[in-house]
Amino acid sequence: MGKTADILTGFPKTWILDYGAKVTVRPMAKEDRDKLADFFKRIPEGDLRFLKDDVTDMRVIDQWVRDLNYDRVLPLVVEADGRIIADGSLHRRKEGWRRHLASVRVVVDVAHRHKGLASRLIDELADIAMKEGIERLYTELPTDDRAAIEVFQKRGFKQVARFDRNLLDHTGKYHDLAVYHLDLATRR
Ligand SMILES: CC(C)(COP(=O)(O)OP(=O)(O)OC[C@H]1O[C@@H](n2cnc3c(N)ncnc32)[C@H](O)[C@@H]1OP(=O)(O)O)[C@@H](O)C(=O)NCCC(=O)NCCS
């Protein structure tokens, strides 16, 4: 497995999106606290149930920026005009029997959806994971998160399991959970 410095090689990066916009992609930093809070405030109420953590709680964001450890969680943020417009993260443990795995999560600002941002973030995180010797990526999604399921399936992820009433959202409603895998050796 590589060292943190290797993971960060090449960042910040500039992406030119299909429609010509120029955005910056870089690892999350401590200084992003307020920008992140602002980003998550703009996520519609209806989408909050698709997110594992309560991102409306400032303590959650404070903990993320305080405990930054790129070897454990590598969060990439996409910035445009000084605002965060997307966040994608790679989660792993370097020790133990899951050391060959990493999970991926992604959120995109409503105003910047359907422009391929989530797909590019997943690809970027998969490239990093491959360089780090990770063998398999996985993601856990509520079965009613159609947008995310489409995105991950388009990147080659396959559903491998489904768990009944496995998620309890912030409104107290239960959802089924599906697990999707992408074996990096078979990645197109
Ligand atoms: C899921 C999410 C990240 C997608 O972001 P995005 O940047 O709009 O996704 P992309 O533009 O890369 O989409 C790629 C493909 O996925 C599919 N897709 C994306 N959004 C979709 C939707 N709402 N319904 C159906 N298919 C969708 C399309 O096939 C799309 O390709 P196309 O634009 O050529 O048609 C975004 O909707 C989001 O932030 N949702 C809330 C948070 C969430 O659910 N996160 C997942 C938890 S890990």
Segment 109-126, tens digit of pLDDT: 999 999 999 999 999 999
Pick from 51, 53, 117, 150 the residue to mutate for probing ligand 1's pocket: most ligand atoms within 8 Å of its CB: 150
DSSP calls for 42-63:
TS-GGGGGGSSS-TTSHHHHHH
Domain limits for position 10: 4-139
How far is the centre of ligand 1, averaged over its atoms, from the C-alpha of 138 (Å)? 17
What pLDDT score does 136 carry?
A: 98
- The answer to whether 76 and 91 are in contact (CB under 8 A) is no
User: Count of domains in the chain?
Assistant: 1
What pLDDT score does 17 carry?
A: 87
pLDDT interval class at 7 (50, 70, 90):
confident
Q: List, chain by chain if needed, residues with CB within 6 Å of any ligand 1 atom.
A: 47, 50, 105-108, 113-119, 139, 141, 145-148, 150-151, 154
Residue 176 to residue 188: CA distance in whole angstroms: 29
Assign residue 110 the CATH number of its domain.
3.40.630.30
pTM for this one?
Answer: 0.95
Per residue in 41-90, pLDDT tens?
Answer: 999 999 998 999 999 999 999 999 999 999 999 999 999 999 999 999 99
Residue 93, in any domain of the structure: yes
